[in-house]
Amino acid sequence: MLLLPNFIYRCVKWSLAISTFLIRLVPINYINVFIFIGMHKILKIKLIFLFTICSLFVKASIPDSILLKEVKIVEKLIVKKKRAGLKFQKIDTLVLSNLSHRSLSEVLSENTPIFIKTYGRGSMATASFRGTAPSHTKVLWNNMEINSPMLGMVDFSLIPTWFMDDVNLSYGAASVKKSAGALGGSVEMTNKADWRKGFSLHTLSSAGSYKTYDQFISLNYSNRKFSSKTKAFYSVSDNDFKFFNKDIPASVDLKTGEISHETQKQKNADYKKYGFLQELYYKLSLKDMVSFKIWNQYSDRSLPQLSTNESNDKDSDGKLILNNINNQLDRSTRISSSWKHYFNKSNLKVDFGYINTNLDYYLDVKQNRGEKKVSNRVIDSESKIDTYMAKAELTGNIKERTRYSLSGEFSANRVDTKESVKKTGYKENRNKESFVLFMQHQWTRNISQNITLRQPFVDEKADPLIYVSALEYTAGEKKQFKLGANFTRNYNRPTLNDLYFQPGGNPDLKPEDGFTYEGNIGYTVSGKNYDLDLSTSAYKSDIDNWIIWLPNDRGFWEPFNLKNVKVTGLEFKAKLKGKLFNDLQYRLSGNYAYTKSINHGDGVTLGDQSKGKQLPFIPKHSSNLLLNIEYKDWFINHNFTYYSERFTTSSNDRKKEQAGRDLYPYYMNNISFGHRFLLKKKCLAEIKFRIDNLFDEDYRSILQRPMPRQNYTLLLDLKF
């Protein structure tokens, strides 16, 4: 029995009465953490105060007393929102802001372990995720897959970073919840409403080397229930940079045999791109919100000749005449609409989408007709793709420890491609459905587990079940340690070009079927003036029937199934940010990846020596480092990127590689610096200068596709 003076007794009585009222007013499953954390601290402070006061009244007469019942405070577990045991990466908003004038291909190559295979400045750029092929990387925009059903891949050079609010990566098994067939992983791009009331205007203008000019604009309006965001861009460039051509000898010294090369200027490489994105959001009620987004884009690109091309002529004045002229025209419209409803313990989201893509390509070759040269079109290809999509997802909690998600997806692809000169092409349809179950359970405060089951159907035929099982252990708060592991089975069907392209399509191709094992460790610590985040992942993928295109003995390329490919790798990521003193802030982040992607199957063509060799165009080592320093209104950014040697043949034959067919390692350094200031007290302005290829590196990402040397960009950013 604890004896208290009257006035202290009244304080405790009212405190307990108010606490009891709040507990009855709010459901217990919503306030258990509040009780444990908040009330525990409050009661602790009150009891210390009460015991101190009581000591002053030990000798006083006590007319009244009360018996306090024992109170037990029990901690209840709440399941974590993040999926346990899986690896994700969110691209820093600072990175997206600094590279908002560039394509997403440059964001990924400079800040992630993904290898971006680019065919030249302004040309196509595809992604190799964890040593896999471009078709093994799925790309989603606002929950809608935008991979081409014809090619299976996405050209990241056509995705303007300016349009995206968030970019997230899901590695390996983490991609299964939202997409099937992502043997490497997925890239997820999202747009979100800006509910800050009123109008805002954001413009970005840039001028750079090779007569490159870019203009970006964003106009936003929001009130309590409605939000509108309009974004647009226009980009144009002659892209006529100089390069040192090592593939064609300029002259040979007959005495010494020494071969000299010359500097050339890239021709027929100009491009023009423009597009707009309109986003509309409306709150129907406190529990309902609808959104509509439309992304329209146009791209006209001249494709430069290979550096080995020697077919060009010169006129009487010595002016170069191009004998081969390539051009590619891309037009796309993407529409996404959604409705989201919030229940008491769950929410329902319904998405609808439509994609229309038109891709036109032609090749003109000048041929001799008597004394004249006449342009003759030898390839004239047109492709039209229509995709319709729908998805419904219900997510919620079962009590506090278990979170679930149930979803159903449908997509219909319509592909019509034709080549007018050779009268070839195909017209095919493909319908896909998937049903997905995701569950995550919090076993203890430190241990959580999740499973994902995905049942896909293609043209009403069931594919094998795709599944994920993952486990995670966490410990600590300010210093947090994470240990995770997962296992997944994935399945990827051939693309429509793999099956039906003419010439070369192989309708007998088998789907790719693989298993992946992954372990990851993470450590996070926060100090007074710094935050440090470290993580390491190791994985192994065992994939049967890997699809690869190889030249055949009939003079064209054809897809084949490799019996087995094993991919093993190690990834390391570090991020450090903090303050050295009040006005000086810094951020340092880096990635390193070691990737072995080895063919373990027998050769598929005569003389094939690829068994036991690294797959073409996949570097074993890659890394990048980003340093950002800000002092008051001044800032500087330095980015470093490294790729090791890439083989261009499946046999990894170094004798042939040394004959000019090697892609040697290269180190790339880019730097930018600038100043922010207020303009007439209503406009936040930023002026920035960027130098790409700081040390004038001579490098190539693809064989016989030169890349620019040191080049410059000046930017002016205005926010109203």
Pick the closest to residue 99 from 156, 58, 142 (CA basis): 156
- With contact defined as beta carbons under 8 Å apart, do 511 and 498 qualify? no
DSSP helix/strand/coil, 578: strand
Q: Are 302 and 267 in contact (CB under 8 A)?
A: no
Asked whether 82 and 169 are in contact (CB, 8 A), the reply is: no
| Alpha carbon distance 338, 284 (integer Å) | 13
Q: State the pLDDT at residue 672.
A: 97
| Residues 385 and 361 sit within 8 Å (Cβ to Cβ) | no
Q: How many residues does the chain have?
A: 720
CA pseudo-torsion sign 363, 308, 698, 264:
negative
pLDDT at 394: 97
pLDDT digits (tens, 9 = 90+) for 322-331: 788 899 999 9
Quote the tokens at residue 255.
Answer: 């005495």
- CA separation for the pair 5, 397 (Å, rounded): 47
**Residue holding tokens 């490098």?**
699
Tell me the pTM.
Answer: 0.86
Q: Which residues contact 652 (CB under 8 A, 6 or more apart)?
A: 610, 613, 614
Task: Name residue 412's beta-bridge partners.
Answer: 388, 431
- pLDDT score, position 43: 34
DSSP state of 261: -
Question: What tokens does 37 get?
Answer: 């954390």
Query: Concatenated DSSP letters for 672-690?
Result: EEEEEEEETTTEEEEEEEE
3-class DSSP state of 28: helix
Instruction: Check residue 69 and report its DSSP letter.
Output: P
Q: Tell me the C-alpha distance between 510 and 544, whole Å.
A: 9
Dihedral of the alpha carbons of 439, 441, 446, 447, in degrees to the nearest 10: -70
Q: Write down the residue that tokens 């509108």 correspond to.
A: 228
For 399-458, how does the pLDDT look when each residue is reduced to its tens digit (9 = 90+)? 889 999 999 999 999 999 999 999 999 999 999 999 999 999 999 999 999 999 999 999
* Among the listed residues 644, 646, 643, 642, the one whose alpha carbon sits nearest the alpha carbon of residue 663: 646
Q: How far is CA 584 from the centre of its chain?
A: 30
Q: Identity (one letter) of the amino acid at 553? A: D
d(CA 33, CA 77): 8
At 334, which helix (H) or strand (E)?
Answer: strand 324-342
Grouping H, G, I as helix, E, B as strand and the rest as coil, residue 19 is: helix
- Answer for the pair 226, 195: CB distance below 8 angstroms, yes or no: no
d(C-alpha 522, C-alpha 535), whole Å: 4
Q: What is the dihedral of CA 143, 149, 154, 158, to 10 degrees?
A: -90
pLDDT score of 681 = 80
236's CB contacts (< 8 A; 6+ apart) are 212, 213, 270, 271, 272, 273
Residue type, 679: L
- Which residue, chain included where needed, has tokens 């020494």? 258
Report residue 144 as tokens.
């809608």
What token pair was written down for 355? Answer: 């994609």
d(C-alpha 619, C-alpha 647), whole Å: 8
Low-confidence ranges of the chain (pLDDT < 50): 1-63, 65, 71-75, 657-658
Residue in the structure block whose two tokens are 């040390």: 695
* Rounded (10°) CA dihedral 654, 655, 657, 659: 160
Q: Tell me the three state secondary structure of residue 537.
A: strand
State the pLDDT at residue 619: 93
Look at residue 497 and give its three-state secondary structure: helix
Q: What's the CA gap between 479 and 572, in Å, rounded?
A: 19
